[in-house]
Amino acid sequence: MAIEIKVPTVGESITEVTLSQWLKKDGDYVEMDENLAELESDKATFELPAEKAGILHIIAQEGDTLEIGAVVCTIEETADKKGASTPADPAGKASPEEQSAQSATTNQATASSAPVEIKVPTVGESITEVTLSKWLKNDGDEVAMDEDLAELESDKATFELPAEVAGTLQIVAKEGDTLAIGAVVAKIIPSGKGAASIATASTSASKEVEEEKEQNYAAGTPSPAAAKILKEKGIDPNTIKGTGKDGRITKEDALKANANTVVEKETVLIAPPPLNKTESAPASASKPTAGSREERREKMTSLRKTIAKRLVSVKNETAMLTTFNEVDMKPIMDLRAKYKDKFKEKYGIGLGFMSFFTKAVTTALAEWPAVNARIEDNEIVYSNFADVSIAVSAPKGLVVPVIRNAESMTLDEIEKAVRDLALKARDNKLTIEEMTGGTFTITNGGVFGSMMSTPIINAPQSAILGMHNIVERPVAINGEVVIRPMMYVALSYDHRIVDGRESVSFLVRVKELLEDPARLLLKI
């Protein structure tokens, strides 16, 4: 009896997910609760476990967008793994694989007169069609196996189409035709010798594949972490040499992999043949184009599509303004330099800037509650707590996990929360709950060198604080020009809720607390 494995409910606001990667193959035996695939929503990535032990039958494919409740696969329940896969035959009969190979050999031998279709092969991920530029053989000619039949021309190179079997050629496509990948170009009626060669080649090839799999089944197979990295880089795992056990591609191999290397390998595979002595090179060949002009297309992930929709929606549906100020970071930097070693020794975490900014923000939010509010229907909702969202750049896009009740946390608790959320974001392990809610957002573009920016509000919140790069600049203090480490800070806010007086006063209050950290401790 087969049971259906469906897309589970992962959140009230999530209606569909994308099947990003299968962790098992069709026909594999799986244990109960073993992870089958990775599903990706617009907020997080999570695994799909097996509800029963049995044989996996895949229905949905990688890249498919599935609604909640859609069937992803089925599992055929079996007594055990051995009985499910290849049971021993007490009568000494051949195994299913051998029976299949023998059956294929018999069918091919009896169908010696059946035409063999010669199709356009796959020549590159970005190539979807080719042009049949020239036939090298005539209709009705006798051709040998592996003999070149025609020249096919893609938008990148010209290559030959070989005969897959010996026999009589029957031309289907004409010179000049544009053919899709997989289209039939010609047919070959095998001769007796050709049919026998097919059976022999098929049997030997299947044996070689089985032997190779038995000897080195893991060669070229990426680990789940490596597969994610290679997919994000757009790199084919087949072009990477693994350094792990039995040739498995490790996470380190994927991190070191360079897309340029893959492009070079693909170009070599489909490189045009050398010109004959009687042929002359085209005039354009003497004027090579400087630099590469190749392009690649990638399907937008659900996360990226959701980010795009929300940012455009915020720009269109809010009255967003931005006010700026600058902060003298010397007091905080001096405090960190003095106590950072003792702080780390006591709490086991480094003392960074984010904890100071978070504490300053929560103090200012309590004094200016409109900045911590949101609009729901025709009402303004004021929160007497501060759930601070921290914008984090994850491998698949921007995510904004939330620090709950940040107003009641100490500096070390905030630093630990930021570290834990950042690590989860890097590994795509954030849960829906950890990214839901939030009353105010902090984003730090300074880590990438941003001098000044206008951050976009994280709806339905009413404001967001942007931190920027710290740069030493001359400033006037007490009538003297001195060099100080300065940071521009920006507050983007929804003018429907927050007035100019409130936004400016909020940012000034944050500036005062940061330039005099003792106020954070004394709460004054």
Dist CA 51 CA 35 (whole Å): 10
The one-letter amino acid code at 273 reads: P
- Strand 480-494 relative to strand 463-467, pairing: antiparallel
Residue-by-residue DSSP string for 286-308 = GSPPSS-------PPPHHHHHHH
Distances (CA, A) of 164 to 82, 194, 227, 485: 37, 9, 33, 71
Count Cβ atoms below 10 Å from residue 182 Cβ, excluding itself: 9
User: Active site residue: 42, 468, 499, 516, which one?
Assistant: 499
* N- to C-terminal Cα separation, the chain: 69
What is d(CA 408, CA 26) in angstroms, rounded to the nearest whole number? 51
CB-based burial label for 345 (10 Å; 0-12, 13-18, 19+): exposed
Residues 6 or more apart whose Cβ sits within 8 Å of residue 383: 369, 372, 373, 374, 439
Q: Within a 10 A sphere around the Cβ of 328, how many other Cβ atoms? A: 19
Distance CA 40, CA 428 (A): 10
DSSP class per residue in 223-250? PHHHHHHHHHHT--GGGS---SGGGPBP
141 is catalytic: no
C-alpha of 197 from chain center = 44
What gap in Å lies between CA 52 and CA 32, rounded to an integer? 5
Distance CA 78, CA 50 (A): 14
Cβ neighbours, 10 Å, residue 217: 11
Residue in 80, 377, 495, 516 annotated catalytic: 495
DSSP-based helix, strand, coil % in the chain, nearest 5:
35, 25, 40
Beta bridge partners of 76: 2, 55
Q: Is 495 an active-site residue?
A: yes
Residue 58 CA to chain centroid, in angstroms? 21
Spell out the long-range contacts of 403-410 with Cβ–Cβ below 8 A and sequence spacing 24 or more.
Answer: 403/358, 404/437, 406/358, 406/359, 406/361, 406/362, 407/362, 407/363, 407/365, 407/366, 409/358
Q: Which residues are catalytic?
A: 495, 499
